[in-house]
Amino acid sequence: MNSYIMSSAFNRGVKHVIFFSCTVMYPNSNFPLKEDWVKLNNELEQKYFGVGHTKLYIEKICEFFGNLGKTKYTCIRHSNIYGPNDKFDLEKGHFFASNLLKIVHAKNNKISIWGKGVEKRDLLYISDLTNFVDKTIKYQKAKFRIYNCTYGKSLKVIDIIKKMIKFYNRNIKIEHDLTKPSIPVNILVDSSRAKKELGWKPKVNIEKGIQKTIKWLKINI
Contact 113, 173 (CB under 8 A): no
The domain that contains 117 carries what CATH number? 3.40.50.720
Domain holding 30, by residue range, is 2-220
3-state secondary structure of 163: helix
Q: What angle do CA 58, 61, 62 make, to 5 degrees?
A: 90
How many domains is the chain partitioned into structurally? 1
Phi-psi group of 107: left, alpha or beta (phi > 0 → left; psi -120 to 50 → alpha; rest → beta):
beta
User: How far is 17 from 31, CA to CA, in rounded Å?
Assistant: 31
pLDDT the model gives residue 40: 61
pLDDT tens across the length of the chain (221 residues): 999 999 999 999 999 999 999 998 888 888 899 999 886 666 777 777 888 889 999 999 999 999 998 999 999 999 999 999 999 998 888 889 999 999 999 989 999 998 899 989 999 999 999 999 999 999 999 999 999 999 999 999 999 999 999 999 999 999 999 888 777 778 889 999 999 999 999 999 999 999 999 999 999 98
